[in-house]
Structure 1
Amino acid sequence: MNKTFKLYGLIFIIVMVVLALLELSKSAVTDWRKNFDVNEKSPFGLFIFSKEVDQLLNDKVKRTNFSPYDFYKTQKLKPHNILIIESEIDSESWNKILQNVKKGSDAMVLTGSFSRKIADSLGFFVSKVNYEDRYLLTLTDHKFSKDSLLLDKLPSGKVFELIIEKHEILGIEESETKIANFIKINHGKGHLYLHSEPLILTNYYLLKPGNEKYVQDVFSYLPNRETVWFSGDNKNVAESRSPLRFILASPGLRYAWWLLLGGLLLFIIFNAKRKQRIVPIIEAKKNKSVEFVKSIGNLYLQEGDFHDMMAKKAQYFLNRVRMDLMIDTKDLDEKFINLLHLKTGKSVEKIKEATELIKKGQDPYASVMQADLMKMNKLLDEILL
Structure 2
Amino acid sequence: MGKKGTIYLGIAILTLAAFMLLQYSKPKEINWFPSYVASHKIPYGTVVLNTVMEGLFPSQLQQVYNPPFEFINQNDSINGSYVFINNDIQFNKEELNALLNWTAKGNRLFIASKDFEEELKDTLGLETDFSYVGFETSQKQLHSLLNPRLTLTDSIIFNRDTSTPYFNKIDTLNTTVLGQVAVVVDKKQKELQVNALMHPFGDGTIILSTFPEAFTNYFILKRENKAYTAGMLSYLDDGKPIYLDNHYKSGKSFYTSPMYIFLNTKELKWAYYIALFGALLYVIFEGKRKQRAIPVVTPLPNRTLDFTRTISDMYYLKSDQKSIAEHKINYFLDWLRTRFYIGNIRKEDDFYNTIASRSGHSFEFVTKVFSFMEHLRNSDQISDDDLLKLNTLLQKFKAKTDGK
Q: TM-score, normalised by structure 2?
A: 0.56
- Give the partner amino acid of 1:63: Q
Does structure 1 conserve the Cα–Cα contact (< 8 Å) formed by 2:195 and 2:211? yes
Map of 1:252-291 to 2, 5 A cutoff?
253-260=268-275, 263-264=278-279, 267=282
Map of 1:222-233 to 2, 5 A cutoff?
222-224=236-238, 225-232=240-247
- Give the partner amino acid of 1:150: I
Q: Distance in 2 between matches of 1:17 and 1:185?
A: 62
Moved more, 9-18 or 55-64: 9-18
CA offset digits 1:217-238 (Å, max 9, x no partner):
111111112111122399xx99
CA offset digits 1:150-193 (Å, max 9, x no partner):
21221531111221121111111144322111100111111111
Q: Distance in 2 between matches of 1:215 and 1:104?
A: 24
Q: Distance in 2 between matches of 1:227 and 1:102?
A: 16
Q: Distance in 1 between matches of 2:38 and 2:163?
A: 20
Tell me whether 1:192 sits opposite 2:200 in the alignment: no
**What's the CA shift for 1:30?**
2.6
SS at match of 1:209: coil
Tell me whether 1:143 sits opposite 2:158 in the alignment: no
**What's the CA shift for 1:40?**
3.2
Q: Distance in 1 between matches of 2:71 and 2:284?
A: 51
Tell me whether 1:159 sits opposite 2:173 in the alignment: no
Moved more, 147-156 or 165-174: 147-156
Q: Which residue of 1 aligns with 2:224?
A: 210
Q: Which residue of 2 aligns with 1:77?
A: 77
Does structure 2 conserve the Cα–Cα contact (< 8 Å) formed by 1:155 and 1:199? no
Does structure 1 conserve the Cα–Cα contact (< 8 Å) formed by 2:103 and 2:204? yes
Q: Distance in 2 between matches of 1:79 and 1:28?
A: 44
Tell me whether 1:126 sits opposite 2:134 in the alignment: no
Q: Which residue of 2 aligns with 1:114?
A: 116
Moved more, 70-79 or 190-199: 70-79
Tell me whether 1:65 sits opposite 2:65 in the alignment: yes
- From 85, 96, 102, give the equivalent of 2:98: 96
Does structure 2 conserve the Cα–Cα contact (< 8 Å) formed by 1:138 and 1:145? no
Does structure 2 conserve the Cα–Cα contact (< 8 Å) formed by 1:171 and 1:183? yes
CA offset digits 1:350-378 (Å, max 9, x no partner):
xxxxxxxxxxxxxxxxxxxxxxxxxxxxx
SS at match of 1:142: coil
Map of 1:1-80 to 2, 5 A cutoff?
17-18=17-18, 20-24=20-24, 26-80=26-80
Q: Distance in 1 between matches of 2:262 and 2:60?
A: 35
Q: Which residue of 2 aligns with 1:249?
A: 264
Q: Distance in 2 between matches of 1:78 and 1:36?
A: 25
CA offset digits 1:307-342 (Å, max 9, x no partner):
xxxxxxxxxxxxxxxxxxxxxxxxxxxxxxxxxxxx
Q: Which residue of 2 aligns with 1:298?
A: none
Q: Percent identity?
A: 22
- Give the partner amino acid of 1:183: L
SS at match of 1:200: helix
**What's the CA shift for 1:82?**
0.5
**What's the CA shift for 1:104?**
1.5
Does structure 2 conserve the Cα–Cα contact (< 8 Å) formed by 1:173 and 1:181? yes
SS at match of 1:30: coil
- Give the partner amino acid of 1:229: L
Tell me whether 1:170 sits opposite 2:170 in the alignment: no
Does structure 1 conserve the Cα–Cα contact (< 8 Å) formed by 2:131 and 2:163? no
Give the gaps of 5 or more residues in structure 2: 1-8, 183-188, 291-404
**What's the CA shift for 1:105?**
1.4
Does structure 2 conserve the Cα–Cα contact (< 8 Å) formed by 1:83 and 1:107? yes
**What's the CA shift for 1:136?**
1.8
CA offset digits 1:182-211 (Å, max 9, x no partner):
100111111111011111112221111311
Q: TM-score, normalised by structure 1?
A: 0.59
Does structure 2 conserve the Cα–Cα contact (< 8 Å) formed by 1:156 and 1:197? no
Give the gaps of 5 or more residues in structure 1: 1-8, 276-385
- CA-based RMSD of the aligned residues comes to 4.0
- Give the partner amino acid of 1:80: G
Q: Distance in 1 between matches of 2:80 and 2:10?
A: 64
Q: Which residue of 1 aligns with 2:298?
A: none
Does structure 1 conserve the Cα–Cα contact (< 8 Å) formed by 2:24 and 2:266? no
Change (3 A) 1:155 1:41: farther
Q: Distance in 2 between matches of 1:258 and 1:233?
A: 35
Aligned length: 272
